[in-house]
């Protein structure tokens, strides 16, 4: 297995720390006038999302984590697993558990493409695209003619997300939503 | 393709001004500017400094200097009198906010000065180079600094106490730390960032003497006659009342090499020419090395070394 030395630690590098795959966020080289140099490293644990700071002696190394980010389309859920399929034509399928899909759960739509992070070939996280287009399944009736003025109401999307929408939005409308903020962008149709 | 310099042109003009001020400062004081080789047959033994090497001719290796110290001491032994040098120094695997593998060092030696007289001169130079420079820089001893910042005595605390203290500031799981490693970790990670106003730290533990003489402090503990200047949470200069005893120098080379062997690092042959010069006689003197790029960082209000370098290592 490849290893990386502290001087190769760059943001985004995936390494194993205490057996868990981590992504390096920041690496600061600190050295006293004379004596041992250190690297103060910030990492995100990819299994639980926790951000952690650890100090290493400069020159120490960590094993590379077999982490891959792959485009996959969402197929269906059987209640326990959410099934995704590679978009490279291999038709290879991967079941993701609830912890892995947590960040995307509100924004899942069949056939849409998500970034699935694989660790040792198992999905550990699913990242939705920045914008999704999903149909409204429940909201108060739209107010005709009120297309410009302020005011908002909650609407439930087919994926289960509840977003604040303008008053003119109706059931059956397809909305564009920013998944990072959960904010309504516009009505697509 | 990125080809533009890292530093703004105005910063490079400021850099040139600071260089001119440094040269003016030493000219006024009768200190001779010298220029020693960057490629050397010997290098230092310090286990925490790795020199870069290059092949001059097949099988004929030279080290790029990590500092001009050995060559300058040979000049002093030859009777040069007070000397200074502005030069490039090279250190492997040193890269970061305040480090570039190739950097500019200002180093000078003062025969007849002790460490305190040299600190006065460093302070005078800072006052000339920095807009808000003040020639009156306080001195605090290493022991008091640890007591004030961390509530422990670095000479008396047990290894366990030091480790507990280090753990309370950062996660050091899995690291094998010697006593000096723990002190260095606390110094670099915790104390150094607190040293915003200029201050000289003096009376380092004898185990961190490097090439300084060893004396005793008021409590009778053996301490290194070594000082470091910190400004804006950054180490700017490191000075010594220089070791002149060639036998003691040879012992320290050997001790360093034992540490190198234990750590699996290449052993570095002692610089025989330096030892011969010390044998001949190095005048009693104090010497100091100052990171010139960092001085320019302070003058320019820069937070990253790349802001004061024409081209940083990965743009060179």
Residues of B in contact with A17 (CB under 8 A): none
| Tokens (6 digits) for B18 | 């600071």
Q: Which of A20, A28, A32 to mutate to test binding with chain B, by most B CBs within 10 Å of its CB?
A: A32
CB pairs under 8 A between A and B: 69
Residues B293-307, mean pLDDT to the nearest whole number: 97
Give the C-alpha separation, A171 to B4, whole Å: 55
**Alpha-carbon gap: A34 to the closest alpha carbon of chain B (Å):** 7
Contact B179, B161 (CB under 8 A): no
Q: A58 by DSSP, 3-state: which?
A: coil
| B132: DSSP letter | T
Query: Is pLDDT at A40 greater than 60 in this prediction?
Result: yes
Of chain A, the percentage scoring pLDDT greater than 90 comes to 83
Q: Give me the residue from A36, A52, A53 closest to B48, CB to CB.
A: A36
Whether the CB-CB separation of B187 and B143 falls below 8 Å is answered with no
Cα angle, residue B244 at apex, residues B241 and B250 outer, rounded to 5°: 120
Taking only residues 197 to 216 of chain B, the set having a beta carbon closer than 8 angstroms to any beta carbon of chain A reads: 208, 210
Rg (CA), chain A: 22
Please compute, for residue A167, the number of CA atoms within 13 A of its CA located in the half-sphere on the CB side: 9
Q: Is the pLDDT of residue A147 over 60?
A: no
pLDDT at B116: 97
Query: Given this model, what pLDDT does residue B131 score?
Result: 77
Alpha-helical (H) ranges within chain A are 98-101
Q: Cβ–Cβ of A54/B172 closer than 8 Å?
A: yes
Residues A6-39: tens digit of each pLDDT: 999 999 999 999 999 999 999 999 998 888 999 9
Instruction: Write down the pLDDT at residue A148.
Output: 58
What's the pLDDT band for B107 if we cut at 50, 70, 90?
Answer: very high
User: Which helix or strand (DSSP H or E) is residue B122 part of?
Assistant: helix B115-129
Cβ neighbors of A162 (< 8 A, separation 6 or more) are: A154, A155, A156
* Residues across chain B: 316
Contact B73, B109 (CB under 8 A): yes
For residue A5, give the chain B residue with the closest CA: B93
Residue A152 pLDDT grade (very low, low, confident, very high; cuts 50, 70, 90) = confident
Closest CB to A55: pick one of B99, B170, B228: B170
**Distance, CA of A15 to CA of A67 (rounded, Å):** 9
Give the pLDDT mean for A81-100.
Answer: 94
Note whether A56 contacts B: Cβ–Cβ < 8 A.
yes
pLDDT in tens, B160-194: 999 999 999 999 988 889 999 999 999 999 999 99
pLDDT for res B47:
93
Task: Give the residue-averaged pLDDT of B11-21.
Answer: 98
B99 to A59: CB separation less than 8 angstroms, yes or no: no
CA B195 to CA A42: how far, in whole Å?
24
Most A CBs within 10 Å, among B67, B176, B189, to test the A interface: B189
Distance of CA B262 to the CA centre of its chain: 24
**CB within 8 Å: A33 and B228:** yes
- Of residues B99, B173, B228, nearest to A31 (C-beta): B99
pLDDT surpassing 80 at residue B133 = no
Tokens standing for residue B171:
């996660």
pLDDT in tens, B138-147: 999 999 999 9
* Cβ atoms within 10 Å, residue A87: 13
Residue B148, pLDDT > 90, answer yes
The predicted structure's pLDDT at residue A144? 63
Rounded CA separation A116/A93 (Å): 11
**A79 touching B (Cβ < 8 Å):** no
Highest mean pLDDT among A162-166, B34-38, B173-177: B34-38
Q: Which residues of A touch B97 (CB under 8 A)?
A: 28-29
Query: What is the share, in percent, of chain A residues with pLDDT greater than 70?
Result: 95
Determine how β-strand A162-166 pairs with β-strand A174-178: unpaired
pLDDT at position A145: 58
ipTM of the complex: 0.89
SS3 B95: coil
Q: With H, G, I as helix, E, B as strand and everything else as coil, classify residue B264.
A: coil
């Amino acid at each position: 297995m490849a290893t990386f030395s502290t001087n190769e630690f760059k943001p985004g590098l995936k390494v194993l720390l205490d057996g868990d795959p981590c992504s390096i966020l920041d690496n600061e080289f600190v050295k006293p006038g004379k004596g041992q140099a250190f690297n103060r490293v910030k990492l995100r644990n990819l299994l639980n999302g926790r951000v952690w700071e650890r100090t290493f002696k400069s020159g120490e190394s960590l094993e590379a984590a077999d982490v891959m980010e792959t485009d996959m389309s969402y197929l269906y859920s059987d209640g326990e697993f959410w099934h995704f399929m590679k978009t490279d034509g291999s038709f290879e399928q991967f079941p993701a558990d609830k912890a892995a899909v947590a960040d995307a759960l509100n924004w899942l739509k069949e056939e849409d493409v998500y970034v699935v992070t694989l660790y040792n070939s198992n999905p550990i996280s699913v990242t939705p695209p920045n914008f999704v287009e999903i149909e409204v399944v429940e909201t108060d009736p739209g107010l005709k003619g009120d297309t410009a003025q302020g005011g908002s109401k909650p609407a439930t999307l087919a994926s289960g997300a509840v977003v604040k929408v303008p008053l003119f939005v109706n059931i059956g409308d397809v909305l564009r939503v920013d998944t990072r903020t959960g904010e309504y962008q516009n009505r697509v149709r | 393709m990125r080809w533009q310099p890292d530093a703004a042109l105005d910063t490079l003009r400021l850099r040139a001004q600071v260089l001119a001020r440094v040269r003016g400062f030493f000219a006024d004081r009768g200190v001779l500017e010298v220029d020693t080789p960057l490629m050397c047959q010997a290098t230092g033994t310090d286990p925490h400094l790795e020199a870069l090497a290059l092949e001059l001719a097949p099988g004929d290796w030279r080290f790029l200097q990590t500092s001009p110290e050995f060559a300058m001491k040979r000049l002093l032994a030859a009777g040069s009198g007070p000397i200074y040098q502005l030069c490039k120094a090279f250190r492997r695997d040193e890269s970061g906010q305040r480090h570039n593998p190739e950097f500019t060092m200002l180093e000078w030696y003062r025969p007849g000065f002790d460490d305190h007289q040299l600190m006065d001169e460093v302070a005078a130079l800072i006052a000339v180079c920095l807009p808000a420079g003040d020639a009156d820089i306080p001195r605090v001893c290493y022991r008091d600094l640890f007591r004030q910042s961390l509530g422990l005595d670095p000479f008396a605390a047990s290894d366990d106490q030091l480790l507990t203290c280090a753990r309370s500031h950062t996660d050091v799981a899995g690291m094998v730390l010697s006593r000096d490693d723990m002190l260095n970790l606390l110094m670099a990670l915790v104390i150094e960032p607190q040293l915003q106003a200029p201050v000289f730290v003096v009376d380092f533990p004898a185990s961190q003497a490097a090439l300084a003489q060893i004396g005793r402090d008021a409590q009778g503990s053996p301490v290194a006659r070594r000082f470091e200047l910190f400004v804006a949470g950054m180490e700017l200069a490191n000075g010594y009342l220089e070791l002149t005893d060639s036998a003691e120098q040879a012992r320290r080379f050997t001790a360093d090499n034992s540490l190198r062997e234990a750590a699996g690092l290449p052993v570095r042959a002692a610089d025989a020419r330096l030892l011969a010069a010390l044998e001949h006689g190095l005048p009693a003197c104090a010497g100091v090395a100052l990171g010139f790029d960092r001085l320019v960082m302070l003058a320019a209000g820069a937070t990253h070394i790349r802001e004061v370098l024409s081209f940083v290592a990965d743009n060179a």
